[in-house]
Amino acid sequence: MKRYERFADEIAELIRNGVLAPGGRIPSVRQASRQYGISPSTVFQAYYLLEDRGLIVARSRSGYYVREQAQRVLHEPRMTPSRQEASDVSVSELAFSVLDSLQDTATVPFGSAFPSPDLFPLARLARSMAKGLRGMSGDDVLKDMTAGDADLRRQIVLRYTLKGMPLPPDELVITSGAMEALNLGLQCVTSPGDLVAIESPAFYASLQILERLKLRAVEIPVHPREGIDLAVLADSLARLPIKACWFMSHLQNPLGASLDQEKKRELYTLIKRHQVPLIEDDAYAELHFSTSPPKPVKQFDDEGLVIHCGSFSKSLAPGYRVGWVAGGRFAERISRLKLMTTISPSVPAQAAIADYLQHGGYDRHLRQLRHALETQQGQMLAAASRCFPDETRATRPAGGYFLWFEFPERVDSLRLFRMALEQGISVAPGPIFSATRGFRHCLRLSYGHPWTPRSEAAMKTLGELVDAF
């Protein structure tokens, strides 16, 4: 990363933290140059970049200002207490109707689970694919099918190491996306009828998987910014025979909440005390807006209790279907279970990603991706504060590509979902994120696609639909 990029990121962080407030002036070039000990041209380059990212605006003769994302800032949603007793799960049909709504590419994809593939280096990946295939012998094909691509394994282990989390290579199992990783992990540590602690609201696929495996959910409430309520979790672990936890400690889907380091440590201490495995879904690991990459709960895992699941689907290669799991003490069982279910992720896809990680410039791509997402978040928040009613609350996560909106109680997001779809807009209604069909007045919207006049018009339409309740 160049000096001016680093400086731009520092300023961006100050804007995010609120140290530099919307509408406020940022240090002049001369001030910044003196204060940070960098050349004026470096400051200029950084400010151009921040302008480009939509974070600041230049006003002629008076300098640079933090962009006013919104005429008014939406309040943070409230934390919803969850009913903590165990629930059978049956949310599938509802979630599928949201997925189905995305099949028509003419639909405005606010309900999508994936960012726009146009944000990814698909052409560069295709070149990596061609190169990977050229170098591959028939023996390699069979060998990589059971063990996984050796280069890819090395690259993933390396990335753990660079984050200060050395990973014994034996712990790593390459999977068909994070979804398979999560499935295998959960199956390894549970039997039908078992209780599993999940978040509330939770990623709908986790509800579907629990439903499929005939597991029962214990919903733990999540604070919209600070993450899971550890006091409630501690109480549940003490009272109930919970067999596994399935959490996202970072950029939780749908809220975007993240636990801080201290809370992550506390969470690990809890599961260790009760010897309950944690399936840590870290699919958004690379999509943080902050300059320093956060570490998962896995960092504390001295007993192999954490099954840490990652993926390239949200950060590099959608549709390649390559993920992984650092399986802790369950790694061998996970690996064998995989041989019985899909045998292996696609070998060419593994080779392509391995080559790209070595030669493609992954970290540069990630920086661009994060900046694009951060800009789009600002655009959606600004549109929301213009178009949605005053009482609307919204999250403002430090990464990812989802916003969570809480409307007045009278708004029924299931009806809203159907009405929006008739207008060609897909959204994700609150109840698909809950085993108990809560969050009926909430909505998850994705800003994962580049912002266009069509997005703007769709927000206006949504606002009108909400107003009608």
**Residue bearing tokens 């990596």:** 128
Of 136 and 457, which CB lies nearer to a second copy in the complex structure?
136
Instruction: Tell me if 180 contacts a second copy by CB under 8 A.
Output: yes
| CB 291, CB 11: distance < 8 Å | no
Task: State the minimum distance, in angstroms, from the CB of residue 11 to a second copy.
Answer: 31
Task: State the minimum distance, in angstroms, from the CB of residue 234 to a second copy.
Answer: 30
Among 344, 376, 377, 379, binds a second copy (CB under 8 A): 344
CA distances from 411 to 200, 298, 388 (A): 20, 39, 12
Among 341, 359, 418, 452, binds a second copy (CB under 8 A): 341
Of 50 and 349, which CB lies nearer to a second copy in the complex structure?
349
If you ran DSSP here, which 8-state letter would residue 431 be given? G
Instruction: Tell me if 81 contacts a second copy by CB under 8 A.
Output: no
Amino acid in position 110: F
Among 37, 164, 166, 192, binds a second copy (CB under 8 A): 192
Q: Choose one: 28-36, 96-104, 160-168, 455-463; the region binding a second copy (CB under 8 A).
A: 96-104
Binding residues for a second copy restricted to 358-397, rule: CB under 8 A: none
Contacts with a second copy, 251-280, as mask; x by CB under 8 A: ------------------------------
Instruction: Tell me if 150 contacts a second copy by CB under 8 A.
Output: no
Calpha distance 331→316 (Å, rounded): 25
In our burial notation (b when 16+ CB lie closer than 10 A, e otherwise), range 236-273 reads bbeeeebbbbbbbbbbbbbbbbbbeeebbebbbebbbe
Contacts with a second copy, 304-323, as mask; x by CB under 8 A: --------------xxxxx-
Instruction: Tell me if 345 contacts a second copy by CB under 8 A.
Output: yes
Of 285 and 317, which CB lies nearer to a second copy in the complex structure?
317
Instruction: Tell me if 347 contacts a second copy by CB under 8 A.
Output: yes
Instruction: Tell me if 97 contacts a second copy by CB under 8 A.
Output: no
What residues does 86 pair with on adjacent strands?
none
Task: State the minimum distance, in angstroms, from the CB of residue 136 to a second copy.
Answer: 7
Among 37, 166, 275, 340, binds a second copy (CB under 8 A): 340
Among 291, 342, 423, 436, binds a second copy (CB under 8 A): 342
Rounded (10°) angle between helices 347-359 and 122-134? 110
Task: State the minimum distance, in angstroms, from the CB of residue 455 to a second copy.
Answer: 16
Among 110, 120, 330, 433, binds a second copy (CB under 8 A): 120
Of 143 and 263, which CB lies nearer to a second copy in the complex structure?
143
Among 112, 236, 253, 258, binds a second copy (CB under 8 A): 112
Question: Residue 383 phi/psi, 5° resolution?
Answer: -65, -40
Q: Which two tokens stand for residue 111?
A: 């309900």
Of 112 and 258, which CB lies nearer to a second copy in the complex structure?
112
Question: Residue 412 phi/psi, 5° resolution?
Answer: -105, 105
Calpha distance 379→113 (Å, rounded): 19
Instruction: Tell me if 434 contacts a second copy by CB under 8 A.
Output: no
Instruction: Tell me if 169 contacts a second copy by CB under 8 A.
Output: no
**Residue bearing tokens 């520092």:** 10
Q: How far is CA 277 from the centre of its chain?
A: 21
**Residue bearing tokens 């200002």:** 65
Among 141, 165, 230, 366, binds a second copy (CB under 8 A): 141
Instruction: Tell me if 118 contacts a second copy by CB under 8 A.
Output: yes
Residue-wise DSSP of 29-83: HHHHHHHHT--HHHHHHHHHHHHHTTSEEEETTTEEEE----SSPPBPPPPPPPP
In our burial notation (b when 16+ CB lie closer than 10 A, e otherwise), range 421-454 reads beeebbbbbbbbbbbbebbbbbbbbbbbbebeee
Residue-wise DSSP of 401-413: SEEEEE--TT--H
Of the candidates 72, 115, 110, the residue with the CA atom closest to the CA atom of residue 443: 110
Is residue 194 helix, strand or coil? coil
Instruction: Tell me if 19 contacts a second copy by CB under 8 A.
Output: no
Calpha distance 243→189 (Å, rounded): 7
> Which stretches of the chain bind a second copy, using CB under 8 A?
92, 96, 99, 102-103, 105, 112, 114, 116-118, 120, 122, 125-126, 129-130, 133-134, 136-139, 141-147, 176-177, 179-180, 183, 187, 192, 205, 208-209, 212, 214, 318-322, 336-337, 339-349, 352
